[in-house]
Structure 1
Amino acid sequence: MALRIPTLRQRRLGAELRRMREQAGFGGSHLARLLGVTPALVSQMEIGKSAVSVARLHEIAEACMCANAPLVEALADMARERDAAWWDEYRTALAAAPIDVAEIEGRAKKLTSFTIGIIPGLLQTNSYATAVFATGFTSLPEREVDRRVKFRQRRQQVIRSGETPYTALVHEAALRIQYGGPAVLKEQLDSLIRDSELPNVSLRVVPFATADFPGPSENLLYAEGPVPELDTVQADSSHGSHIFDSPAQLAGYRAILERIKAVALPENESRDHIRSIMKEMKDRHE
């Protein structure tokens, strides 16, 4: 059987099978003997290169004495996924990182983000997104900028559809950096206020005046899965995009986000704060 190039979800399913095996105290060869397969097949399943059927998943869970029924059923749902998603159309046109982010967002039950220097991608206007991509570390041709902006538009449907609850924690710095100039930022802030009134969106600002800012320096996306064990964190840094999913990492990021929520302004005060920034801009530039 030909080995596939695994998607993020397929890699995650494999990683959870590996965790299940390790929690049982088994090596790969021992689990292979229990299943009647080769150690190579166990390895391929655990890195996502070989498909895992629902029946095989249950065999592994039974062999590893996994009593976490909600987790096993959630993994079975992942194993059943066969249909291509909209982001699969872009796999030959874009790098893996933005595809992985779209996959995380598209499969999440609930999303929470924290951004410190930029408006969250899920809430960016086209003009703002264009300015962000055009002023990156490397100069991109116009057609590549356009492709990335259109991909970001597609990602935003997860919020525009109203299906996924979304909490956006935004540091005041992100509300003041003028990507594309004052007019672009004003349009973006106007749009941000409108989006904050969507029933599934909670926008909360972390103001400069916060006395004890507990947040990290990177932008974060926390995606809740069908069970807590399948939550995922995606973090941006100057070295690229990073994905975290170990229990310890998830617990740490949950604690960080709770601390940020504790100092962020309530929703109505956040909208008022954005309006005050817009008034400052108007007074300065008009």
Structure 2
Amino acid sequence: MALRPNPTLRQRRIGTELRRMREQAGLGGSQLARKLGIQPAQITQMESGKGGISAERLRTIATACMCDNQPLIDALADMTSERGKGWWEEYRNLLTIDFLEVAELEGHAERITFCNTVYIPGLLQTRAYASAVFARLIPPLPPQDIETRTTFRLKRQEVVRSGAKPLRVFIHEAALRMQFGGPVVLIDQLAALLDDSEQPGISVRVVPFAIDTFPGAGENLIYVEGPVPELDTVEMDVSQGALFFDSPTNLAKHRTIFSSLDATALTEGESRDFIRSIMKEVKSAYA
């Protein structure tokens, strides 16, 4: 079987979990290869995601590594059986890999949770707001690139607007007040956010300035739940692109962050009232 030159995020994740199984069993790559009767290079290829793996082979590896986490094994076996390409592959030569991998992550999610401190979460942005977010980048993007990124972002929204995937959103007050595109765009965005907050499966909660503690370091975060907790993933937005975290330590840390947000944020009803109050302020200031 030919090696994959550019394995997808999910293919790399299968390899990461295989490596974790092997390491937890205290086995080196060569030791596991001897147990399986294959070359050590094949272990490296599978763990990097470049080498394909069948569900049967994955279960054999799990047995060799004495892994008894059956839900995790079953979930990984299901992942090895996936065929076909996601809609995001249409953009592979138009956008950087970060965009595609975020969409891939969301496309396979069981539930998605956002924590945003600078801007409205991408899955709830209006076209005008999303375009303004991309237009403020330095160096400036060509108009066609802004349009492509904006269209891609709106396409991503289908995963939650269809009602198939629950969405939780924690938005800091600062993000509600940032005027990407100016006051008119912000007012329309806040109105759309209120409408979305009433939709089944979408929860929007605000963290106001008045809260005396904000958990975490303040980055814009996405927590994506997999079919089992071990396959959850955290995505962090940074100026250089997207960073992905899936180690047990990082997952535990961010579960604590979101648990703290859940305990301190306004209720859904209070959040809607808060968003309306900001809309009123903006309308009064720029009438």
Bin of the TM-score, shorter chain as denominator length: over 0.9
Residue 189 (1) aligns with residue 183 (2): no
Instruction: Look up the equivalent residue of 1:134 and give its one-letter code.
Output: A
1:3 aligned residue: 3
Residues of 2 paired with 1:215 and 1:18: CA distance?
A: 29
C-alpha contact 1:120 1:168 (8 A) present in aligned 2: yes
Residues of 2 paired with 1:249 and 1:63: CA distance?
A: 27
| Paired residue secondary structure (1:174) | helix
Residues of 2 paired with 1:147 and 1:2: CA distance?
A: 32
Deviations 1:151-195 (A, max 9, x none): 001100011100001100000000001000000000000000000
Residue 256 (1) aligns with residue 257 (2): yes
1:17 aligned residue: 18
- Give the Å deviation of 1:211: 1.5
Residues of 1 paired with 2:240 and 2:96: CA distance?
A: 15
- Aligned pair count reads 286
Residues of 2 paired with 1:84 and 1:116: CA distance?
A: 33
Residue 52 (1) aligns with residue 56 (2): no
- Give the Å deviation of 1:138: 2.1
| Paired residue secondary structure (1:114) | strand
Instruction: Look up the equivalent residue of 1:141 and give its one-letter code.
Output: P
2:79 aligned residue: 78
Residues of 1 paired with 2:202 and 2:150: CA distance?
A: 21
- Give the Å deviation of 1:213: 2.0
Residues of 1 paired with 2:93 and 2:52: CA distance?
A: 21
- Give the Å deviation of 1:263: 1.2
Structure 2 unaligned regions, length at least 5: none
- Give the Å deviation of 1:215: 3.4
2:152 aligned residue: 151
Give TM-score scaled by structure 2 length.
0.98
Deviations 1:63-103 (A, max 9, x none): 11110100000000100011111111111211011111101
Residues of 2 paired with 1:84 and 1:237: CA distance?
A: 27
1:137 aligned residue: 138
1:268 aligned residue: 269
| Paired residue secondary structure (1:112) | strand
Q: RMSD of the alignment, in Å?
A: 0.8
- Give the Å deviation of 1:2: 2.4
1:234 aligned residue: 235
Instruction: Look up the equivalent residue of 2:162 and give its one-letter code.
Output: S
Give TM-score scaled by structure 1 length.
0.98
Instruction: Look up the equivalent residue of 1:231 and give its one-letter code.
Output: D
| Paired residue secondary structure (1:218) | coil
| Paired residue secondary structure (2:19) | helix
Structure 1 unaligned regions, length at least 5: none
Residues of 2 paired with 1:266 and 1:108: CA distance?
A: 24
C-alpha contact 1:215 1:259 (8 A) present in aligned 2: no
Deviations 1:251-280 (A, max 9, x none): 000001111221110000000000000111
Residues of 2 paired with 1:40 and 1:90: CA distance?
A: 32
